[in-house]
Chains A and B, each alone.
Chain A
Amino acid sequence: MKIKPNIAVSDSGFVFNPDTGESFTVNPIGVDIINYLKDNKNTGEISTQIRQKYNVEQPTFEKDFDDFVGLMLNYSLVIND
């Protein structure tokens, strides 16, 4: 799972896709995940980083993560490896 290289992300959670002209808003944990994806971290590494920062159990986060990247895939913001 990789984020498209031309996707612009601001610290305040504003995401822009120049391919489609669409804009998105993302909450802070979502920005963290996008930045980890930009750094080419894999799912396991992202899960570890998030659980170090946020008070969440692994199964809960993994379910929410799958949902989040599913939406990003749907919005053509990420590509499968």
Chain B
Amino acid sequence: MEKLRYERPLIKRLESEMPNKFGMKAEHFPKSHIDGVAVKDLLEEHGSPLFVISEKTIRNTYQRAKKAFSTRYPKVQFAWSYKTNYMDAVCNIYHQEGSWAEVVSGFEYDKAIKNGVPGKRIIFNGPDKTISDLTKAIQNESLIHIDHLDELYTIVELTETIKKRPRVAIRVNMDTGVYPMWDRFGFNYENGQAWDALNKIMASGRMDLIGLHTHIGTFMLSAKAYGVAARKLADLALGLKRKYNHDIKYIDLGGGFPSKNTLKGAYLPGNDTNPVFDDFAEEIASALLNSEFSPDALPLLILETGRALVDDAGFLLGTVISNKRSSKGKRNTIIDIGVNLLFTSFWYDHKISPAQEFTHFNEETTVFGPLCMNIDVIRESALLPLLNRGDHFVIHSVGAYNMTQWMQFITLRPRIVLIDMNEKVHIIREAETMDSFNKFENTPEHLKKFEL
């Protein structure tokens, strides 16, 4: 007789209190396949842990976002936010879909150029653009979003030696009624800094002021704030028209749209409560169309959303190392994924699904990573099935920031694979090796030998 699948014995006291109306459902439904490829096979071939990216989800999400905006506003352009995920394969999917590149450093700028993005289709944001970066961006006719006056004056200086007119916009920060208000980037709308910068650009006569940009926050749960932002940028653009008879070519509302992840402390799952692309598109398009822009001079609407486009396309597969019980009686499960790989676990209660069938029995579990650090907690509390040592699981919605903010710590970073539209698996980043890590180190001759 074939033996039954083992599940550890479980006894739970039945509580007689009122049920928790905000309770999250237990995650006992398995995620055994991603785009038709078995999780078990992926881990066998590529090792555990493993990042997996779904090309199908990326394209579907992008098309959903594009449809939401382009059905409401006639001129829409997306620019892929490199910092959210700058794996070349991922960037190129967005470029194939028509996205420009949005970069925030010289490193990212060079990556976009190497990927084949024309200079004119690169938006250069961020507070740290070196003279060399700016020179390159001016020569390539990239869209330079000026962050502060020092940068503005540097560009003016550079125009004395570079015989090209820089194509610039300013980044504007503003009060949109949300907390916290981001005011560390760009020039403030309310106190007149933004107008001051625009006047200085126009007075210099050496630059082409072609856009206005804002990025009001991150993981924004209020679509209305974008309507406020669009109205304030429209007000600046219309002011330029009145004062200088100058038409702005584009308005860039940045990013900050949320993914389906659930923020820590949220009562309900993000999947059910977070605004979707249509909500943001409605607010932004209405604000611009209802402004005083002449219908034949509507500016191009640029969007730099990153997280909402890529988060749900990323999965992190792993393996259970051990089960323990804490001194207070709570179930602790240790997995082979730490906060160094899953940076976003500091902000989200990531959904974790088993990769194999389980019964409906579950246990409230604290999920710890393998790092020898007390902060290494992936989920403080999750209702999980009775995972055994060696069982596999899938962490959902990890496509944004984890592959750019991950840290090499006490072990080497794993492979990243991409599942293409035909369910074929491609390695898009190799796992680190001791050699690849050590090649950056140099031990002085006198420190090479010792006796113990």
Contacts and interface: CB of A to CB of B under 8 A. Distances in A.
* A and B: bona fide binding partners: yes
A68 B13 contact: no
- Interface of A: prevailing SS: helix
Given A60-B388, A60-B389, A71-B329, A30 B4 contact: no
Given A27-B359, A74-B329, A53 B10 contact: no
Contacts of A61: 6
A27 B13 CA distance: 12
Given A60-B389, A67-B325, A24 B13 contact: yes
B386 A27 contact: yes
Nearest to B361: A27
A10 to B, nearest CB: 13
Contacts of A23: 13-14
Interface string B3-24: 1111111111110000000000
Given A22-B13, A71-B329, A74-B329, A27 B3 contact: no
Residues of A in contact with B, size category:
20 to 34
Contacts of B361: 27
B3 A54 contact: yes
Given A27-B386, A67-B325, A74-B329, A15 B5 contact: no
A33 B388 CA distance: 18
Given A60-B388, A60-B389, A74-B329, A24 B11 contact: yes
Nearest to B324: A67
A25 B9 CA distance: 11
Interface in B1-55: 3-14
A55 B3 contact: yes
Interface string A1-31: 0000000000000010000001111111110
Contacts of A79: none
B366 to A, nearest CB: 15
A33 B323 CA distance: 20
Interface in A45-67: 52-56, 60-61, 64-65, 67
Contacts of A68: 8-11
A19 B3 CA distance: 37
14 contacts: A22-B13, A24-B11, A26-B9, A27-B7, A29-B7, A30-B10, A52-B3, A54-B3, A55-B6, A61-B6, A64-B323, A71-B329, A72-B11, A75-B11
B11 A29 contact: no
Nearest to A65: B9
A54 B4 contact: yes
Contact of A26 (B5, B10, B329): B10
A56 B6 CA distance: 6
Contact of B14 (A24, A29, A65, A71): A24
Given A60-B388, A71-B329, A55 B5 contact: yes
Contact of B3 (A24, A53, A60, A65): A53
Contacts of B325: 67, 70
Interface residues of B, number: 20
Contacts of B329: 71, 74
B12 A25 contact: yes
A64 B9 contact: yes
Interface in B320-370: 323, 325, 329, 359, 361
Nearest to B359: A27
Contact of A55 (B4, B323, B389): B4
Contacts of B10: 26-27, 30, 68
Nearest to B8: A64
A50 B145 CA distance: 67
Residue among A56, A68, A75 with max Cβ neighbours from chain B (10 Å): A56
Nearest to B13: A24
Give 6 nearest A-B pairs by CB, closest first. Answer: A56-B6, A30-B9, A64-B8, A68-B9, A55-B3, A27-B361
A53 B4 contact: yes
Contacts of A25: 11-12, 14
A22 B12 CA distance: 11
Interface in B264-323: 323
Contact of A33 (B5, B9, B386): B9
B9 A27 contact: yes
Contacts of B9: 26-27, 29-30, 33, 64-65, 68
A68 B10 CA distance: 7
A60 to B, nearest CB: 7
Contacts of A29: 6-9
A71 to B, nearest CB: 6
Contact of A71 (B5, B11, B389): B11
A75 B325 CA distance: 15
B12 A24 contact: yes
Contacts of A52: 3
A15 B11 contact: yes
Contacts of A26: 9-12
B4 A75 contact: no
